[in-house]
Amino acid sequence: MKARVHVMLKDGVLDPQGEAVRHALGSLGFEGVNGVRQGKVIELDLAGEDPAAAEAEARKMCEALLANTVIERYEVEIL
C-alpha cells in the first residue's frame, strides 16, 4: 500500500523560497501569480492492507519525523 504525505509550511509562516519562485515567475512574464508556497511530497511504500491503519501509521511518522509541526502542517493521502 502506498501513502503520499504532503508537508507544507503553516499559513502565516513566511516562505522565502516560495517568494523567490514567485519573483522568478514574474520575471519570466507570468502575470497574476499572487502567491507561491513550496512544500514537500513524501511517498511511503507500506506493508499491510488496511488503509485506515496505514493512514494512522503515516500520521504517527509525520508527528515523529516527517514534519516539524512548529512550522509545518501535513496531509496524508492513501493511494
Partner 1 sequence: MKAAVIVFPGSNCDRDLAVAFRAAGFDVDMVWHKDTELPQGVDVVGVPGGFSFGDYLRCGAIAARSPIVAALKAHVEAGGYGIGICNGFQVLLETGLLPGALMRNAGLKFICKPVELSVETTASDFTSGYSAGQTVTYPVAHHDGNYVATPEVVAALEAEDRVAFRYCEDLNGSVGRIAGILSENRRVLGLMPHPERAADPALGTADGAALFAALAKAGVAA
Residues at the contact surface with partner 1, assessed by CB under 8 A: 13-14, 16-17, 20, 64-66, 68, 70-71
Between residues 28 and 65, which has the closer beta carbon with respect to partner 1? Answer: 65
Between residues 61 and 78, which has the closer beta carbon with respect to partner 1? Answer: 61
Three-class HEC string of 20-60:
HHHHHHHHCCCCCCCCCCCCEEEEEECCCCCHHHHHHHHHH
Shortest distance (Å) from residue 23 CB to partner 1: 10
Between residues 3 and 66, which has the closer beta carbon with respect to partner 1? Answer: 66
Q: Cα(63)–Cα(70) distance, rounded to whole angstroms?
A: 11
